Amino acid sequence: MSAKSTASARPVSSNKPQSRIALSQIVRAGDASVRSRGVQTEAEAHPPPVLPQQIPPLSSVGGDPAPPAAEPEFPPLQQRSRDFWYPDGNIVAKTEGTYFKLLLSRLERHCGYFKRVSIDRAWTVVSGQKVVEVRDLKLQDFERFLKYLEIPMEHSVKDASKETAMSLLRASRVLACKVIGDLAEARVLGPWSSASVPAPGDALAGRPYSEAIEMLGVAQALNAPLVRKHTLYALLADDDFWSDVASRRAGVDISDADLLMLYRTRVAIQEKWRVHVLAPPKPCQNSACLPDEETRSALWSGQMSKYATTEVRDPLRNVEGVKTAVRKLTNWCRACVDERVRALADAGDLWWKELDQLLKVVVPGAQA
């Protein structure tokens, strides 16, 4: 190559870096011009993604670490009982969505339900608290029950309204609480829950039949068969009841099924009454007494016919009057009279037991 050619080529080679520097300056100048006009460059519009490991921890930039999320409070304040949430309670009872924090030792002392819970450890632990759900019990009944159990000096069952006493009785049955249940039953049911056979002058004698009909509804609501038996017998024995049924059936608040059952029982009990009243004394060995059986039967029927010719509405109470009349009869020895008095007394007890089947009730503990 000639010297001339070499000399002419050298400046071109030496000018290339300068050209690249000049080009980058132009580009930067152009970018600056673009930014000055408020327009993003390509690099600014699409920055490269920042990887997680590139993000500095808060502590590295002077911030405190975020506290852990707090667990929700259990149970929520709005679901706690206002009156029965004891800070020192050790059992939480839930009824219809409301929570009560109570003392288990007091509950199990009086309530068989909570005694079983304690023995079986039948609770669920939630947020460190023992929780038991009381089913088959209304919230209002449980709240009333706790008031009378926890604060007895301020709440006397015997002075409670019948509505409150019924509420207490329902709760006591679910919770197996005898101390409150017995008092509530006495307030609600009174003599209607008596285990005694109806007798002259007892607490149920002479009450209006409207009360018996009211208690019939109570017996059904509380599933109290003995109360139902007493109320049905009170209706069976009441002349005014039968008179009103005949004259204004629509005004007597009793179901057709119960009324039909009373009609059938009325017929059956009258037949039982006639059989016992007209049955003569058994033959005896007393020579002074009438020896002939036919004569004895005829004499007895004549003397007792007035007690069997008309219907007796209340045989259990009227049998006492017949027993008195038998003791005054003549032509009979003392042994014969005493035998019939005992037979009539036994008949009254027997009729009362037989009424279970006639009135279709099942009284716990009643003998067959």
pLDDT value for 37: 46
Q: What is the pLDDT of residues 116-147, one digit of tens each?
A: 999 999 999 999 999 999 999 999 999 999 99
Residues comprising the chain, all counted:
368
Q: What is the pLDDT of residues 28-41, one digit of tens each?
A: 544 444 444 444 44
Of 347, 112, 21, nearest to 355 (Cα)?
Answer: 347
As a whole number, mean pLDDT of residues 155-179 equals 92
- The torsion region of residue 63 among left (phi > 0), alpha (psi -120 to 50) and beta comes to beta
Q: Which residues pair with 92 in a beta bridge?
A: 101, 131
Task: Find the helix or strand (DSSP H, E) in which 102 lies.
Answer: strand 98-102
Q: Where are the beta strands (DSSP E) in 13-97?
A: 80-85, 91-95
CA distance 146 to 140: 10
CA distance 141 to 221: 14
Confidence tier at 309 by pLDDT (50, 70, 90): confident
Confidence tier at 46 by pLDDT (50, 70, 90): low
Looking at residue 102, its amino acid is: L
Superfamily of domain 74-184: Potassium Channel Kv1.1; Chain A (3.30.710.10)
Torsion of CA 357, 360, 363, 368, to 10 degrees: 20
Burial 71-105 (b: 16+ CB within 10 A, else e): eeeebeeeeebeebbeeebebbbbbeebbbbbebe
What does DSSP assign to residue 332? S
User: Burial, 338: exposed, middle or buried (Cβ in 10 Å; 0-12, 13-18, 19+)?
Assistant: middle
pLDDT exceeding 70 applies to what percent of the chain? Answer: 79
What does DSSP assign to residue 289? S
Residue 53 has pLDDT above 60, yes or no: no
The domain segmentation of the chain, as residue ranges, is 74-184, 190-367
CA distance 257 to 360: 11
